[in-house]
């Protein structure tokens, strides 16, 4: 019985490794530009950033919230679009975590002079990344969690919860589907989950969902995008 269980686990590991390696190969071929990061939809970036700013504002201390504008973490950061346009204008310091090395290598030049306030650029997949405990006032994760299997997503949320400073929050911004169950894209090896599936993973990790809100003014042919504030 033990041998059979071990064999089954090994097969699961092979499938899981292919899921992650296929995604890694896909992004390795993407150009390190905003258009590359957004799959050819660079035009939505200003709308996206403005929506994120409006969503985040009430949680900041200056607006009566609990979040200190000191240290933020950008998950699945790419070349630093969110770091540059959303996080650095608000926070004193930002760390980035990104799996693809050529994105990491191009991030500081893309961000420009303010990149001196990007303290760490961690080149790591989120399935392996462990935030420092109690380190971050904000953990921001956008358009990347579809690259995690369900069990790894729950574990990632658990690690992020431990990585929040007192009063800190995590914000998740993701595509969603209206179907009951997630869909799989074998082009970039990613899932698009329903809101219910995303929230289930958040709750399993011990997070409280403060609010979820739909991003406005995106093109109608895109998936609905929702933002979640977690604590």
Angle between helices 195-204 and 150-163 (to 10 degrees): 50
pLDDT of residue 1: 31
Known binding residues for S-adenosyl-L-methionine are: 76, 81, 126-127, 142
pLDDT of residue 15: 56
Tokens standing for residue 45: 């970036």
Task: Report the mean per-residue pLDDT for the chain.
Answer: 93
| HEC assignment per residue over the chain | CHHHHHHHHHHHHHHHHHHHHHHHHHHHCCCCCHHHHCCCCHHHHHHHHHHHHHHHHHHEHHHCCCECCCEEEEECCCCCHHHHHHHCCCCCEEEEEECCHHHHHHHHHHHHHHHHHEEEEEECCCCCCCCCCCCEEEEEEECCHHHCCHHHHHHHHHHHHHHEEEEEEEEEEEECECCCCCEEECCCCEEECEHHHHHHHHHHCCCCEEEEEECCCCCCCCCCEEEEEEC
1.10.10.10, 3.40.50.150, 2.60.40.10, 3.40.640.10: which CATH number matches 2-230? 3.40.50.150
Which residue shows structure tokens 């998936």?
Answer: 223
Per-residue pLDDT band for 3 (boundaries 50, 70, 90) equals very low
Mean pLDDT of 57-65: 97
Distance CA 25, CA 11 (A): 21
Known binding residues are: 76, 81, 126-127, 142
Per-residue pLDDT band for 179 (boundaries 50, 70, 90) equals confident
Domain ranges of the chain: 2-230
pLDDT of residue 82: 98
The tens digit of pLDDT for each residue in 119-142 reads 999 999 999 999 999 999 999 999
The closest alpha carbon to 137, from 199, 174, 94, belongs to: 94
Distance CA 190, CA 99 (A): 14
Distance CA 94, CA 21 (A): 27
| Count of residues in the chain | 231
Distance CA 104, CA 102 (A): 5
Tokens standing for residue 3: 């041998």
Distance CA 231, CA 225 (A): 20
Distance CA 93, CA 160 (A): 17
């Amino acid at each position: 019985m033990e041998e059979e269980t071990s064999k089954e686990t090994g097969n699961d590991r092979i499938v899981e490794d292919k899921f992650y390696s296929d995604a890694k190969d896909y992004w390795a071929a993407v150009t390190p530009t905003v258009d590359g990061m957004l799959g050819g939809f660079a035009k939505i970036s200003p709308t996206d950033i403005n929506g994120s700013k409006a969503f985040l504002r009430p949680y900041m201390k200056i607006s009566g919230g609990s979040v200190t504008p000191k240290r933020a973490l950008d998950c699945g950061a790419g070349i630093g679009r969110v770091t540059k346009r959303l996080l650095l204008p608000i926070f004193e310091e930002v760390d980035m975590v990104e799996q693809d090395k050529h994105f990491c290598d191009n991030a500081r030049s893309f961000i420009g002079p303010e990149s001196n306030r990007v303290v760490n650029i961690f080149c790591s997949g989120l399935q392996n990344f462990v935030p420092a405990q109690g380190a971050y006032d904000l953990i921001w994760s956008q358009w990347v969690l579809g690259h995690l299997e369900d069990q790894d997503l729950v574990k990632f949320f658990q690690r992020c919860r431990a990585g929040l400073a007192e009063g800190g929050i995590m914000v998740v911004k993701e595509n969603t589907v209206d179907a009951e169950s997630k869909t799989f894209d074998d082009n970039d090896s990613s899932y698009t989950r329903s809101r219910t599936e995303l929230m289930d993973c958040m709750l399993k990790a011990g997070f409280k969902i403060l609010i979820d809100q739909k991003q406005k003014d995106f093109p109608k042919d895109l998936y609905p995008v929702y933002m979640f504030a977690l604590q």
